[in-house]
Amino acid sequence: MSQRLDYSQIAPAGAKALGGVYGYVAGSGLPPVLVDLVYLRVSQINGCAFCLDMHTRELLDKGVAVEKLTLLQAWREAGEFFDAREQAALAWAETVTRVADTGVPDEHYAAARTVFSERELVDLTFAIGLMNTYNRLAISFRNTPKAVRDFAPRS
């Protein structure tokens, strides 16, 4: 897969604006691992190889167990392996990412509000929207994942 274009070089002001949202989310007070789990789950839903690679590496660097990353796609079946806030964040990420199909029903909102304050839920939704945007950019313009760039076929 070769990159179609480098959007951050072509539209640096747009990339910088997205970076500002990324910085806002990072400073929002939401736990960094929770945010990265949401970023990874959104990227799984969207099938973004670049972001899957990047966020998996970041979570591993933060000490998250590989077993947790392995089960992320099936978090509902993992029982208490994911705590209540993680489960609520992942459920919210799924319904918001699939907004065209879900319409984000009232019961999904109510479930998220039992675990997150209004501010936390807004910040979490900023994070979800941001990752959906990054996924669309990376997929559309074929950002090459680090794993692929670093891969050296064995002879």
Spatial contact of 132 and 45, defined as CB atoms under 8 Å apart: no
Residue 142 in domain = yes
Number of domains, the chain: 1
| Each residue's pLDDT tens digit, 99-150 | 999 999 999 999 999 999 999 999 999 999 999 999 999 999 887 777 667 7
| Each residue's pLDDT tens digit, 33-68 | 999 999 999 999 999 998 999 999 999 999 999 999
Residue 23 in domain = no
Q: What is the mean pLDDT of residues 14-40?
A: 97
Can you give the pLDDT at residue 107?
97
Can you give the pLDDT at residue 147?
67
Residue 41 in domain = yes
CATH number of the domain encompassing residue 95: 1.20.1290.10
For residue 33, which of 82, 71, 73 has the smallest C-alpha distance? Answer: 82
Can you give the pLDDT at residue 40?
98
Residue 11 in domain = no
Can you give the pLDDT at residue 150?
79
pTM (2 decimals)?
0.92
| H runs (alpha helix) in the chain | 7-10, 12-26, 32-46, 49-61, 66-71, 84-97, 99-102, 106-113, 118-140, 146-150
